[in-house]
Amino acid sequence: MSFFIYIYKKTQNMTFEEKKWFLSLPEDLKLKLMGDMLKEGQFGLAFQTMKILLDAPLSEGGISTEKINEVFEGYHDKI
């Protein structure tokens, strides 16, 4: 099973502790993961990840809309 499929399945049923762990990852890693998902055509997974990051407060590991939009730039025609 690919890493992205694994992450997708996990985001569907993430526990509070798993979301907390994911949000605790460094910001650049979370953004890179989203970019990699888009490059591999895993758009649904990228949107699930985006939702988790946007729903969380910045102080708890969320990421601003502007930074997420930067990752999604160039993929608008493919989505």
The per-residue pLDDT for range 41-73, each reduced to its tens digit, is 888 889 989 999 999 999 999 999 999 999 998
Q: What is the pLDDT of residue 14?
A: 73
pLDDT in tens, 3-16: 656 665 666 667 88
CB atoms within 10 A of CB 43: 14
pTM score of the predicted model: 0.76
Q: What is the pLDDT of residue 51?
A: 92
Q: What is the pLDDT of residue 48?
A: 87
CB 8 within 8 A of CB 48: yes
